[in-house]
Chains A and B, each alone.
Chain A
């Protein structure tokens, strides 16, 4: 990968990943407002906004770093995808976060529809609580992933160590 392309992909990866984190933080704020507010109009507006945000921002933002920019950056550079534990940990966090997000698309759509049709009731409180918990867990996971990307804690997997050993042996011979 050329240095220019690498810089471009890295920039896109940072923007998308941090954008995902920021949107999940806003989603959590909306989920808490929807759960705690006594104003019916406000609650309806909150769940409509959450539905739109999830469909058009959070879900697309979760897939691009996981399936495109992340693997390109890892595999197109000496870092590799499974050579360092911190990259492997980030990959696992992103897979789990995206899976939890996809599991919660149904309740998000349900509240969105109920808010649009004006059929929200106290019986929906369980779903509302669930979205707060899921958004908080997602935010925490993405904060850990961001910290891993910045600190890059030491530690090479056995596969990474073997590849590095082979490359050094080859370059010395």
Chain B
């Protein structure tokens, strides 16, 4: 076994980028007014 840690696999980098983009998209959608209160006119 070599004494240097292995590089991060490509699939992890792709997954990480997609995950961060999705989280930012969800947060951005909710911060820009695409929230639940605005769509629930009957809410007290």
Contact = CB atoms under 8 A, between A and B. Distances in A.
Contacts, number: 61
Interface string B1-23: 10101101101100100010011
Interface in A157-171: 158, 161-162, 164-165, 168
A31 to B, nearest CB: 14
B26 interface: yes
Chain B at the A interface: mostly helix, strand, loop or mixed? loop
A130 B39 contact: yes
A104 B38 CA distance: 14
A72 interface: no
Interface residues of A, number: 29
B8 A124 contact: no
Task: Say whether chain A's binding surface is mostly helix, strand, loop, or mixed.
Answer: helix
Given A114-B42, A161-B5, A106 B11 contact: no
A110 interface: yes
Contacts of B11: 85, 153, 155
A124 B41 contact: yes
Interface of B: 1, 3, 5-6, 8-9, 11-12, 15, 19, 22-23, 26, 30, 34, 36, 38-43
B19 A126 contact: no
A127 B40 contact: yes
Q: Which of A153, A162, A164 has the most CB of B within 10 A?
A: A153
